[in-house]
Amino acid sequence: MGWLDGLGYKFQERMMGTWRKKGAAADQPYRFDLVSIAPSFGSLARDQLLYLDGELTLGGLAEKVHATGTLRFTPWVRRRLEYELDFVADDGQRYHASGLKTIRHLNPFKTWTTLPSRVVDAAGNVVGEGTALFPASEFLPLVSSFRFTRGQPAPRLAAAGAPA
């Protein structure tokens, strides 16, 4: 891809909603504030991956914990945005949150802004499920956070919470 291999971008995204821990009687807050990084346009074209780094809250499990992961960005061909996040919760245990936006181009506002999600423990057991929403009030902050980068390597995806 030539010069595109050296030119990338990053932006910040915030989504919020609710989730319910398995067996719980009530919903809890669900929020993430993530920086999405494409090391280069060339790597994005090849791998369709953005790297995620930021903060995650899942009420009753994790309060403002560090999370890292990936976003597989294939909205045009596969019509999917696949979020994968790893984190260490308040109990010191490792968890994985995954979410899938299934893009319907005839209903873009709902499908680009709604993220059904699932949280599993280290053994793969479902801990809970929820939905995060991208509110219209976050559109301008997302767009204004967009920055081109040059020569920024893909972040190291060590397990969240592990010493660097």
Check if the beta carbon of residue 27 is closer than 8 Å to that of residue 19.
yes
Domain range list for the chain: 6-147
6-147 CATH, one of 1.10.3470, 2.60.40, 3.30.920, 2.40.128: 2.40.128
- Give the Å distances, CA to CA, from 92 to 28, 63, 75, 95, 122: 19, 12, 35, 10, 11
Q: How far apart are CA 123 and CA 31, in angstroms?
A: 23
> Which strand (E) or helix (H) includes residue 55?
strand 49-58
Tokens at 62, concatenated: 């994790």
| Residue 80 contacts residue 103 (beta carbons within 8 Å) | yes
Checking 106-110 for CB contacts under 8 A at 24+ apart, the result is none
Of the ranges 62-71, 78-87, 90-99, which one carries the lowest mean pLDDT score? 78-87
Write down the pTM of the prediction.
0.86
Q: What is the pLDDT of residues 104-127, one digit of tens each?
A: 888 888 888 999 999 999 999 999
Q: Given this model, what pLDDT does residue 85 score? A: 97
Give me the chain's average pLDDT, please: 88
Please count the other Cβ atoms lying within 10 Å of the Cβ belonging to residue 18. 16
Cβ atoms of 147 and 45 closer than 8 Å: no
Task: For residue 120, give both structure tokens.
Answer: 């599993």
- pLDDT category of residue 5 using cuts at 50, 70 and 90: low
Dmax (CA) for the chain in angstroms is 54
d(C-alpha 34, C-alpha 12), whole Å: 6
Please list the residues that pair with 32 across neighbouring strands: 15, 56
